[in-house]
C-alpha cells in the first residue's frame, strides 16, 4: 500500500545525486562522434594497408618495365594511399596536366590516371631520341600528337597495373578518354569516395608524380578477396616472382666506368689546379683497376686495347669486405 508521506527537497536532491553517481560509474554517457559527409569512411584501415602493399608491388614492377622501355634507370616510389572525395582528388591535380579515364572491366566504374607535366615532357623527349634533361614549360596542354606518342607508355603502365591486381581480380584496365583539365573529367560525382594512390617517378635528376584514383565502391566490392589474399603477408617472394622481376630487369641499361685509385687533394690544391698540371696517382702501374656499375664497385681487372678503343678484362669479383 502506497505511503502518503511527501519527500522533502533535501531527500529529492539526495536521490538525484545517487542516480547520477551510479550512471557515472556503471553506465557512462556516450559522446557523439563527428561524421564528415564529404569524406565517408567506406574502407577499413586494414584494407587500405592491403591496397598500399598491392601498389607498392606495382611501383617496383613499373620501375623495371619503364627502365627497359626508356632505356634508362627509372625508380618508382609509392608515396601515399588515402581515401578522398572525387572533388578533393581533382583539386589536388595540376592544371593543365595529362589525364586519362580508365575502364575497369568487368566493373562498370571508371578510374583516373594522371601524369604530371614535369614528368611527361622529359619522357616525350626520351621517346623521340633525346636525353630528357631539356627544360620545358609545363604550363601548356598536351597536343594530340604527343598523346599518341604516350599511348605506348600508358600500355606499359596499365599492363603492370593489371598484373598487380590479378591476385585480387582480373581487371582489364583500358584508356577510355584523354583530358588536360581535371575539372572537365566528370566521371564520378564530386562527393563520391575514391582511393587516391600517389607515386613518384624518378629518372636521373628528373622527377614527377603519377596519381591514380580508383572508386571506393569497387574496392569495397572486393573486400573479401583482399582479406583472403593479404591476410598473411608473404615473408619472401616465390621463385616465379623472382624470375618475372629478373625478366623485366634484363633489358635495362647499366653504366660502367673503369676507375683508378686517385690521390687526395686539399680544397686549396683543387682551387689551384689548372691546365698542364700533372697529378701523381697512388695506383700501381701493374695493379688492377676497379669496374664500377651504376656507381657501385663490382669487379676488378685490367684495361687494354689499341689506338682506337679501350677494353676491360674482368679478373675478379668484388669481395664482401670491400
CB 81 within 8 A of CB 197: yes
Range in 112-121, 148-157, 258-267 with the lowest mean pLDDT: 258-267
Q: What is the pLDDT of residue 235?
A: 45
Q: What are the structural domains, with CATH classification, of the chain?
A: 45-249 (3.40.1550.10), 256-317 (2.30.330.10)
Q: Hey, what long-range contacts does 161-169 have (CB within 8 A, 24 or more apart)? A: 161/58, 161/212, 163/58, 163/61, 164/54, 164/55, 164/57, 164/58, 164/61, 165/54, 167/229, 168/54, 168/222, 168/225, 168/226, 168/229, 169/222, 169/225
Q: What is the pLDDT of residue 1?
A: 46
Nearest alpha carbon to residue 212 among 65, 75, 60, 58: 58
CB 211 within 8 A of CB 111: no
Percentage of the chain surpassing pLDDT 90?
A: 36
The pLDDT tens digits of the residues spanning 238-290 come to 677 778 788 888 888 888 888 877 778 888 888 888 898 888 777 777 778 88
Question: For 12-23, what is the mean pLDDT?
Answer: 64
User: Model pTM?
Assistant: 0.61
Question: For 289-293, what is the mean pLDDT?
Answer: 85
pLDDT over threshold 60, residue 125: yes
Q: What is the pLDDT of residue 241?
A: 75
Question: For 3-28, what is the mean pLDDT?
Answer: 61
Task: Determine the Cα–Cα distance for residues 193 and 168; give it in Å rounded to an integer.
Answer: 20
Mean pLDDT across the chain: 83
Q: What is the pLDDT of residue 20?
A: 57
pLDDT over threshold 60, residue 29: no
CB 89 within 8 A of CB 112: yes
Nearest alpha carbon to residue 80 among 177, 212, 193: 212
Amino acid at each position: 500500500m502506497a505511503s502518503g508521506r511527501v519527500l522533502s527537497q533535501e531527500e529529492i536532491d539526495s536521490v538525484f545525486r545517487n542516480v547520477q553517481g551510479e550512471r557515472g560509474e556503471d553506465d557512462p554517457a556516450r559522446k557523439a562522434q563527428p561524421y564528415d559527409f564529404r569524406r565517408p569512411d567506406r574502407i577499413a584501415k586494414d584494407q587500405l594497408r592491403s591496397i598500399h602493399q598491392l601498389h607498392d608491388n606495382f611501383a617496383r614492377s613499373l620501375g623495371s618495365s619503364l627502365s627497359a622501355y626508356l632505356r634508362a634507370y627509372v625508380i618508382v616510389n609509392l608515396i601515399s594511399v588515402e581515401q578522398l572525395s572525387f572533388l578533393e582528388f581533382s583539386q589536388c591535380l595540376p592544371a593543365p596536366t595529362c589525364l586519362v579515364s580508365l575502364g575497369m572491366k568487368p566493373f562498370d566504374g571508371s578510374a583516373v590516371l594522371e601524369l604530371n607535366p614535369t614528368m611527361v615532357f622529359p619522357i616525350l623527349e626520351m621517346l623521340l631520341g633525346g636525353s630528357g634533361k631539356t627544360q620545358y614549360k609545363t604550363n601548356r596542354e598536351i597536343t594530340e600528337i604527343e598523346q599518341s606518342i604516350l599511348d605506348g607508355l600508358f600500355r606499359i603502365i596499365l599492363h603492370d597495373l593489371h598484373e598487380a591486381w590479378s591476385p585480387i581480380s582480373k581487371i582489364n584496365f583500358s584508356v577510355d578518354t584523354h583530358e588536360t583539365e581535371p575539372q572537365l573529367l566528370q566521371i564520378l560525382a564530386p562527393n563520391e569516395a575514391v582511393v587516391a594512390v600517389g607515386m613518384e617517378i624518378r629518372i636521373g635528376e628528373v622527377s614527377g608524380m603519377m596519381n591514380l584514383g580508383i572508386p571506393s565502391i569497387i574496392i569495397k566490392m572486393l573486400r573479401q578477396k583482399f582479406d583472403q589474399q593479404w591476410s598473411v603477408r608473404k615473408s619472401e617472394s616465390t621463385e616465379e616472382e623472382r624470375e618475372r622481376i629478373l625478366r623485366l630487369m634484363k633489358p635495362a641499361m647499366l653504366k660502367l666506368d673503369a676507375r683508378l685509385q686517385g690521390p687526395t687533394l686539399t680544397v686549396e690544391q683543387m682551387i689551384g689546379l689548372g691546365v698542364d698540371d700533372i697529378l701523381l696517382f697512388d695506383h700501381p702501374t701493374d695493379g688492377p683497376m676497379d669496374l664500377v656499375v651504376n656507381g657501385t664497385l663490382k669487379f676488378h681487372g685490367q684495361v687494354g686495347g689499341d689506338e682506337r678503343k679501350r677494353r676491360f678484362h674482368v679478373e675478379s669479383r668484388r669481395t664482401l669486405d670491400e
